[in-house]
Amino acid sequence: MYPPVQPYRQGLLETGDGHQVYWELCGNPQGKPAVFLHGGPGSGCSPTHRRLFDPARYKVLLFDQRGCGRSLPHAGLENNTTWHLVDDIERLRTEILQAEQALVFGGSWGSTLALAYAQAHPQRVSALIVRGIFTVRREELLWFYQEGASWLFPDVWERYLAPIPPEERHDLMAAYRKRLTSPDPQVQLQAAHAWSQWEDHTITLLPSPAHNQSHSDDRAALAFARIENHYFVNQGFMEEGQLLRDAHKLHGIPGVIVQGRYDACTPMRTAWELHRAWPQAEFHVVDDAGHAFDEPGILAQLMAATDKFSR
């Protein structure tokens, strides 16, 4: 990855409907405009994400999506939908990045948001890099949060089930919703840690102590779990299959799709279906990787993609 860099500008975008969205600009103020979209939803950006882009060639906008990271109010769910975030990207592109077009980079939930934005504003996207493809279809959600992935991680799954009584386990997302919106802060925190630890322990092909602690902090776990669950019980605020159905709107946008073959969080079938619907994009399967962006094979493909488009 490129060496660590600090933002040369940062601030808060007032959305006008109760949110303040943290943003930062990194790299070369005269460089190629790019927008980085973090995963979750609810995880926020980290300094490591800045290092995916050549700071001499790119002018990169990173921001913490509504309710997470340094954005306010913390863990807020009101006026927090996919389409609010798409509108935020448009305002940030025009008011902060000040670019007619930008490369858009997103992984996991960030790939969802990147596809939603690119389909809504294709003329504003100069190129698209997406990783760990997730389209919030019902079958994808049930795979990870109801049953499927438990066959691979039964030990971790038991900890995910622990806060939920047996009579509510037929709909785990709804059961978690009840607890993550409880008036009791301790009930919220217990559920938040169980929800976030399930993902943190299944994100890589091989065990990763660093990823296992990604949301160990109470504040990070609460935003991550509350916002993810809010989006998923509402199926991403999209129609079933919408992002694959509308993939034809991406035709003409240069793109790269990167997918770990053994991704347990967002299994490869969705990436394959996107590849079939958007064949103009390069498609790279990393045979020795899971879901995380910093697994070596995935990171190598992402760095090659940002370098390619920088030229």
Is there a single domain that holds both residue 71 and residue 177?
Answer: no
What average pLDDT does the chain have? 97
Residue 1 placed within a domain: no
Q: What was the pLDDT predicted at 234?
A: 98
Looking at the domain assignment, is residue 279 inside a domain? yes
Reported as a single tens digit per residue, the pLDDT across 72-102 is: 999 999 999 999 999 999 999 999 999 999 9
Q: For the chain, percent helix, then strand, then coil, each to nearest 5?
A: 45, 15, 40
Q: Is the pLDDT of residue 210 over 90?
A: no
% of the chain with per-residue pLDDT over 90? 96
Domain check: are 271 and 147 in the same one?
Answer: no
Alpha helices in 124-170 (DSSP H): 138-145, 154-161
How far apart, in Å, are the Cα atoms of 116 and each of 65, 102, 273, 303?
15, 15, 16, 23
Token pair, residue 76, equals 């807020």
**pLDDT tier at 213 (50, 70, 90 boundaries)?**
confident
Average pLDDT over residues 121-146: 98
Question: Do residues 19 and 106 share a domain?
Answer: yes
pTM of the full structure: 0.97
Domain count, the chain: 2
Asked whether residue 244 carries a pLDDT value surpassing 80, the answer given is yes
Q: Based on the domain organization, do 33 and 114 belong to the same domain?
A: yes
Q: What are the backbone dihedrals phi and psi of residue 111, each rounded to the nearest 5 degrees, phi first?
A: -70, -40
Could you tell me if residue 230 is inside a domain?
Answer: yes
Instruction: State pLDDT tens for residues 260-276.
Output: 999 999 999 999 999 99
Integer Cα distance of 92 and 146 in angstroms? 36
Backbone angles phi, psi at 130, to 5 degrees: -130, 145
Extended beta strands in 28-101, E state: 32-37, 58-63
Domain match, 39 and 123 both = yes
What pLDDT digit, counting tens, does each position of 143-201 carry?
Answer: 999 998 999 999 999 999 999 999 999 999 999 999 999 999 999 999 999 999 999 99
**At which of 236, 265, 284 does a domain end?**
236
SS3 state at 147: coil
In a domain, 269, yes or no: yes
For residue 115, name the pLDDT band (cuts at 50, 70, 90). Answer: very high
Rounded to an integer, what is the distance from CA 179 to the centroid of its chain?
23
Spatial separation of the C-alpha atoms in residues 84 and 269, rounded to whole Å: 28
Final residue in a domain of this structure, among 236, 267, 302: 236
Q: Which of 279, 285, 278, 311 is nearest to 300 (CA)?
A: 285
Burial 262-282 (b: 16+ CB within 10 A, else e): bbbbbbbebbebbbebbeebe
* Enzyme catalytic residues: 108, 263, 291
Residues spanned by the domain of 18: 9-137+237-310
Q: Are residues 230 and 243 in the same domain?
A: no
The pLDDT of residue 305? 98
How far is the C-alpha of 253 from the C-alpha of 129, rounded, in Å?
10
pLDDT tens by residue, 12-48: 999 999 999 999 999 999 999 999 999 999 999 999 9
Domain containing residue 19: CATH number: 3.40.50.1820
Q: How many whole angstroms separate alpha carbon 289 and alpha carbon 285?
A: 9
